[in-house]
């Protein structure tokens, strides 16, 4: 009886504390880990310039929030031409320069996937970010057929990265050749669509992307396709089995 | 007892099979179906925390049934049927075999159990493990059992807790059951070594599925980050009007609609049949009876009920009655205890309650498997339109179903006017703008309303889909397009650079 009283009192306290939370309750929704900051920034940027009349000051303020990141990864040229066009009140050039920067950003993501194809975890994130960047550019792709084809290529590229499955179910092997085909298709198509001469990002060093997304350089091939990944799993199962076994045995004897 | 056990298991299963869902209806079931196609945590297939033990069972079921929704629904039906087993054992120990049988009978026919037991979601399967955990905890702290069976039950409760968390992490409050049982176990002279084994079993079982999740994501750090990103969005990424309403309104809605109407079939606005009033009358009788007899209920039930009860009220989405499913057996048990306190009459009262519940429950679940959900109707409508290629559809969680059924329809999921405006201004020409009511009503700036007209409406069942069962579609008519475009380009309310960082980081 003592237990129940103590417990009830404790729970009443909890109830009161929770009820007094100002919001009353948690809101409820799902977050998306795959958002790309620069792409979101571009959408906002384009929104400011597409106002009537265009709000160049606001667009500049928006851009400044990602300038450091863009300078770091793409070099100073993109910022120079974007901010230059904004200063000259040239909306079309500013938008065009930002879009080209986004295409280069996609190229950078896809190239670094290919350079370090074994790094499953980082690559999935990079591909998701590349797709999120394309989503921002997609409204400019006038022909629906090209848009659909690009999306299919992204999807195929994702499946080409492989899937570690769950408990060994649904394992898909990675396919570097298939990925390369999709990558080339995406980049060639974007190059034509956004009239870029080259997708060479001279300032990009391989491995940089990995540093930015994960602090550890430790590579994990991921998935239960590799034998060494099974070992800890088997280890846990064996210890668990041993505990159960000895618990049953000891009693029977006693 | 054994014959009755199998009888109720069979009855529970048979009542659900004709109503199994076979198509998508909401965000979560599409998540699971996509997960069966390609299990991928980062792609939210399913969303964090990944439901690994549930999905493992689902993979097994899919080997038998091709349609992923049907496979998942069948798993729910099977789980609901098996709940009878631990449930009858627990009730029998505390309230005797007669009450146990009647509780099992009510479980077979209770509306919420019937609905959740035929839907492609993890709640039924989770409830099986939660009830199993309660049984193991009861045995582990039972002074009438031998020391050996107490020790084994405690060990089993450790394993079951690990598995339960691998099914639904949100069932964590049930962890208090084995904890209190362990304390009781020690008081009855149980060995420390047995207690340590049980704790180790719980940790190792959890580690087993957590490790597999880590493999799917790629690293422990990645899994951790994914969890942070998800919970961050889960609890705060919401710009609409849904958090409105006082605590008391919320409590009333929760008790009256979710526990009462959806749970056991009492009357509600959309539920006015004679049977539901019969349920109400019998529940009132049970309530009066329960006040006389509740002292027979042990503190064990308090430990089972209270933590998750509070959790479901404050940290779970109160719009979804399925979150109450793991506690429904306790309510049904209390109803039986209440009705049996009426001498002699209980022989009539309990079957009468079961019959009334069955009528209400069948009414709630009737359309499932036969008519597509409102979200699916919406998706089909959009894809079949002549101007489907020109549409840009602003949705909220309906998006998941539209993209699953008709990926060619262009959809965007957003909550804030600033986002909507940015998306539209980002396009060279204004597309044909379509919004669902959940977006329109949730927008933080209602200026859009002046430019849209209602064009279609899709209805499903509020009992099968508590949130998106009544979808109204709005669009900008041709006559208002030019004005809408001017509005977007000039209007500056609800926007501003100060809000930019909120948008970029994805939460506010």
Taking an 8 Å cut-off on Cβ atoms, the answer to whether B427 and A220 are in contact is: no
Scan residues 49-78 of A and list those with Cβ closer than 8 Å to B.
50-52, 58, 61-62, 65
- Taking contacts as CB-CB distances below 8 angstroms, the residues of chain B near A31 are 229-234, 237, 506-507
Residue B70, Cβ neighbours under 10 Å: how many? 19
Q: Which residues of A81-118 are buried (b: 16+ CB within 10 A; e: fewer)?
A: bbbebbeeeebeebbbbbbbbbbbbbbbbbbbbeebbe
SS3 B365: helix
pLDDT-derived band at B143 (thresholds 50, 70, 90) equals: very high
Taking an 8 Å cut-off on Cβ atoms, the answer to whether A47 and B425 are in contact is: yes
Scan residues 75-94 of A and list those with Cβ closer than 8 Å to B.
none
Q: Which of A30, A120, A165 sits opposite B230 (nearest CB)?
A: A30
What does R_g of chain A's alpha carbons equal in angstroms?
26
- Taking contacts as CB-CB distances below 8 angstroms, the residues of chain A near B44 are 30, 32
Mutating which of B53, B180, B222 best tests the A interface, going by the most A Cβ atoms within 10 A? B222
A238 part of contact set with chain B, CB < 8 Å: no
User: Would you state the pLDDT for residue A13?
Assistant: 59
B344 versus A39: the higher-pLDDT residue is A39
User: Would you state the pLDDT for residue B492?
Assistant: 59
A224 part of contact set with chain B, CB < 8 Å: yes
Q: What is the pTM of this model?
A: 0.86
User: Would you state the pLDDT for residue B241?
Assistant: 36
pLDDT digits (tens, 9 = 90+) for B382-440: 999 999 888 999 999 999 999 999 988 999 988 888 888 888 988 888 899 999 999 99
Mutating which of B42, B195, B204, B218 best tests the A interface, going by the most A Cβ atoms within 10 A? B218
User: Would you state the pLDDT for residue A198?
Assistant: 76
Burial (CB count <10 Å: 0-12, 13-18, 19+), residue B401? buried
pLDDT at B507 over 50: no
B199 part of contact set with chain A, CB < 8 Å: no
Residue with tokens 């549409």: B391
Nearest CA in chain B to A143: B389
Which phi and psi (to 5°) does residue B457 adopt?
-145, 140
Nearest CA in chain A to B230: A31
- Taking contacts as CB-CB distances below 8 angstroms, the residues of chain B near A113 are none
Q: Characterise B359 by phi-psi region: left (phi > 0), alpha (psi -120 to 50), beta (else).
A: alpha
Strand B391-395 and strand B411-413: pairing? parallel
User: Would you state the pLDDT for residue B498?
Assistant: 34
Give dist(CA B360, CA B231) in Å, integer.
36
Give dist(CA A40, CA A31) in Å, integer.
15
The answer to whether A128 and A34 have CB atoms below 8 angstroms apart is yes
Nearest C-alpha of chain B: how many angstroms from A232?
Answer: 8
User: Would you state the pLDDT for residue A7?
Assistant: 59
User: Pick from A71, A68, A69, A63: which is nearest to A94 by CA?
Assistant: A63
pLDDT at B294 over 80: no
The answer to whether B393 and B434 have CB atoms below 8 angstroms apart is yes
pLDDT digits (tens, 9 = 90+) for B355-389: 999 999 999 999 899 999 999 999 999 999 999 88
pLDDT-derived band at B354 (thresholds 50, 70, 90) equals: very high
The answer to whether B494 and B416 have CB atoms below 8 angstroms apart is yes
Q: Characterise B245 by phi-psi region: left (phi > 0), alpha (psi -120 to 50), beta (else).
A: left
- Taking contacts as CB-CB distances below 8 angstroms, the residues of chain B near A214 are 219, 221-222
Give dist(CA B254, CA B321) in Å, integer.
8
Q: Which of A28, A240, A248 sits opposite B204 (nearest CB)?
A: A240
A5 part of contact set with chain B, CB < 8 Å: no
The answer to whether B19 and B111 have CB atoms below 8 angstroms apart is no
* Helix, strand and coil percent figures for chain A, each rounded to 5: 70, 0, 30
A217 part of contact set with chain B, CB < 8 Å: no
> pLDDT exceeding 90 applies to what percent of chain B?
71
User: Pick from B171, B141, B132, B136: which is nearest to B155 by CA?
Assistant: B136
Nearest C-alpha of chain A: how many angstroms from B62?
Answer: 11
Taking an 8 Å cut-off on Cβ atoms, the answer to whether A28 and B235 are in contact is: yes
User: Would you state the pLDDT for residue B237?
Assistant: 43
Nearest C-alpha of chain B: how many angstroms from A201?
Answer: 25
User: Pick from A106, A107, A101: which is nearest to A66 by CA?
Assistant: A101
Q: How many CB pairs under 8 A join A and B?
A: 218
Scan residues 456-485 of B and list those with Cβ closer than 8 Å to A.
none
pLDDT digits (tens, 9 = 90+) for B250-281: 888 899 999 999 999 999 998 999 999 999 99
Nearest C-alpha of chain A: how many angstroms from B349?
Answer: 31
pLDDT digits (tens, 9 = 90+) for B302-335: 999 999 999 888 878 888 999 999 999 999 999 9
A20 versus B500: the higher-pLDDT residue is A20
Structure tokens at B7: 């009888």
User: Would you state the pLDDT for residue B499?
Assistant: 35
The answer to whether B280 and B266 have CB atoms below 8 angstroms apart is yes
User: Would you state the pLDDT for residue A1?
Assistant: 42
Half-sphere exposure of B289 (CA within 13 A, CB side): 22
Give dist(CA A28, CA B243) in Å, integer.
9
B27 part of contact set with chain A, CB < 8 Å: yes
B432-436 sheet: strands from edge to edge: B411-413, B391-395, B432-436, B470-475, B453-459
- Taking contacts as CB-CB distances below 8 angstroms, the residues of chain B near A254 are 148
Give dist(CA B345, CA B354) in Å, integer.
14
User: Would you state the pLDDT for residue A212?
Assistant: 44
Q: Which residues of B443-454 are buried (b: 16+ CB within 10 A; e: fewer)?
A: bbeeebeebbee
Residue with tokens 């049970």: B286
pLDDT at B98 over 50: yes
User: Would you state the pLDDT for residue A51?
Assistant: 87
Residue A59, Cβ neighbours under 10 Å: how many? 27
User: Would you state the pLDDT for residue A15?
Assistant: 55
Angle of helix B97-109 relative to helix B2-16, nearest 10 degrees?
A: 10
Structure tokens at B441: 């009503």
Average pLDDT score over chain B: 89
User: Would you state the pLDDT for residue A206?
Assistant: 38
Structure tokens at A60: 């500049």
Give dist(CA B114, CA B94) in Å, integer.
25
Q: Which of A4, A28, A166 sits opposite B216 (nearest CB)?
A: A166
Nearest CA in chain B to A240: B201
ipTM: 0.76
B243 part of contact set with chain A, CB < 8 Å: yes
Q: What string of pLDDT tens digits covers the 254 residues of chain A?
A: 445 556 566 655 555 554 444 333 333 344 455 678 899 899 999 989 988 889 999 999 999 999 999 998 888 889 999 999 999 999 999 999 999 999 999 999 999 999 888 888 888 889 999 999 999 999 888 888 899 899 999 999 999 999 888 888 888 889 999 999 999 999 999 999 888 877 776 443 333 444 444 433 344 444 445 677 788 888 998 999 998 888 877 655 44
Give dist(CA B58, CA B32) in Å, integer.
9
Q: Which of A43, A158, A218 sits opposite B426 (nearest CB)?
A: A43
Nearest C-alpha of chain B: how many angstroms from A196?
Answer: 20
Q: How far is CA B30 from the centre of its chain?
A: 14
Cα end-to-end span (Å), chain B: 56
User: Would you state the pLDDT for residue A201?
Assistant: 60
- Taking contacts as CB-CB distances below 8 angstroms, the residues of chain B near A236 are 204, 207-208, 211
Sequence-distant contacts of B274-280: CB under 8 A, at least 24 apart: B275/B356, B275/B357, B275/B359, B275/B360, B275/B363, B276/B356, B276/B360, B278/B352, B278/B353, B278/B356, B279/B353, B279/B356, B279/B357, B279/B360
Residues 6+ apart with CB under 8 A from B280: B266, B267
User: Would you state the pLDDT for residue B60?
Assistant: 95
């Amino acid at each position: 009886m003592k237990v129940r009283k103590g417990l009830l009192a404790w729970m009443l306290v909890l109830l009161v504390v929770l009820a007094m939370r100002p919001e009353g309750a948690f809101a409820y929704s799902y977050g998306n880990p795959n958002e790309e900051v620069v792409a979101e920034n571009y959408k906002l940027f384009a929104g400011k310039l597409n106002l009537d009349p265009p709000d160049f000051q606001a667009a500049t303020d928006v851009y400044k929030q990602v300038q450091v990141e863009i300078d770091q990864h793409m070099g100073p040229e993109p910022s120079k031409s974007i901010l230059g066009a904004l200063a000259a009140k040239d909306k079309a050039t500013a938008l065009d320069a930002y879009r080209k920067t986004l295409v280069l950003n996609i190229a950078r993501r896809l190239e670094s996937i290919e350079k370090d194809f074994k790094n499953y975890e980082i690559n999935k994130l990079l591909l998701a970010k590349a797709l999120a960047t394309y989503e921002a550019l997609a409204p400019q792709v006038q022909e629906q057929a090209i848009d659909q084809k690009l999306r299919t290529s992204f999807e195929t590229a994702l499946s080409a990265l492989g899937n570690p499955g769950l408990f060994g179910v649904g394992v898909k092997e990675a396919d570097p050749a298939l990925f390369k085909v999709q990558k080339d298709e995406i980049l060639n198509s974007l190059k034509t669509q956004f009239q870029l001469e080259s997708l060479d990002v001279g300032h990009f060093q391989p491995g940089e992307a990995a540093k930015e997304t994960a602090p550890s350089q430790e590579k994990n091939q991921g998935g239960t396709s590799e034998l060494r990944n099974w070992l800890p799993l088997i280890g846990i199962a064996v210890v668990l089995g041993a505990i159960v076994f000895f618990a049953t045995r000891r009693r029977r004897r006693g | 007892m054994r014959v009755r056990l199998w009888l109720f298991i069979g009855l529970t299963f048979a009542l659900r099979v004709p109503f199994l869902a076979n198509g998508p209806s909401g965000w979560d079931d599409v998540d699971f179906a996509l997960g069966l196609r390609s299990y991928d945590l980062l792609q939210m297939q399913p969303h964090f925390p990944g439901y690994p033990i549930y999905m493992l069972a689902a993979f097994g079921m899919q080997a038998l049934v091709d349609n992923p929704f049907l496979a998942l629904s069948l798993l729910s039906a099977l789980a609901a049927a098996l709940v009878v087993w631990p449930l009858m054992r627990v009730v029998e120990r505390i309230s005797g075999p007669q009450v146990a049988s009647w509780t099992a009978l009510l479980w077979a026919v209770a509306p919420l159990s019937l609905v959740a037991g035929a839907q492609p979601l993890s709640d039924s399967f989770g409830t099986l493990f939660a009830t199993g955990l309660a049984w193991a905890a009861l045995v582990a702290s039972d002074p009438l059992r031998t020391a050996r069976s107490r020790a084994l039950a405690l060990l089993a409760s450790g394993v079951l807790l690990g598995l339960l968390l691998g099914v639904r992490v949100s069932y964590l409050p049930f962890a208090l059951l084995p904890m209190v049982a362990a304390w009781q176990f020690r008081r009855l002279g149980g060995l420390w070594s047995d207690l340590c084994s049980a704790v180790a079993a719980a940790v190792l079982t959890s580690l087993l599925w957590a490790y597999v999740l880590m493999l799917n994501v790629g690293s422990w750090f990645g899994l951790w980050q994914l969890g942070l990103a998800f919970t961050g969005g889960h609890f705060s990424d919401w710009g609409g009007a849904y958090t409105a309403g006082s605590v008391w309104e919320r409590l009333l809605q929760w008790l009256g609609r979710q526990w009462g109407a959806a749970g056991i079939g009492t009357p509600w606005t959309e539920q006015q049949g004679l049977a539901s009033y019969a349920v109400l009358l019998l529940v009132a009788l049970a309530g009066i009876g329960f006040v006389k007899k509740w002292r027979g209920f042990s503190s064990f039930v308090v430990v089972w009920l209270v933590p998750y009860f509070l959790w479901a009220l404050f940290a779970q989405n109160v719009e979804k009655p399925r979150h109450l499913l793991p506690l429904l057996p306790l309510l049904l048990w209390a109803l039986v205890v209440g009705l049996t306190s009426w001498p002699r009459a209980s022989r009539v009262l309990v079957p009468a309650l079961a019959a009334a519940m069955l009528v209400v429950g069948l009414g709630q679940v009737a359309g499932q498997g036969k008519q597509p959900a409102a979200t699916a109707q919406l998706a089909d409508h959009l894809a079949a339109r002549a101007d489907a290629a020109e549409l840009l559809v602003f949705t909220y969680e309906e998006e998941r179903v539209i993209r699953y059924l008709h990926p060619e329809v262009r959809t965007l999921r957003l909550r804030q006017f600033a986002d909507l405006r940015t998306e539209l201004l980002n396009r060279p020409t204004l597309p044909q703008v379509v919004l669902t009511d959940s977006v329109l009503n949730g927008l933080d700036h209602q200026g859009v309303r002046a430019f849209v007209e209602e064009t279609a409406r899709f209805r499903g069942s509020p009992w099968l889909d508590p949130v998106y069962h009544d979808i109204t579609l709005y669009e900008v008519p041709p006559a208002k397009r030019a004005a809408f475009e001017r509005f977007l380009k000039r209007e500056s309310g609800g926007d501003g650079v100060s809000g930019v960082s909120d948008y970029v980081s994805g939460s506010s």
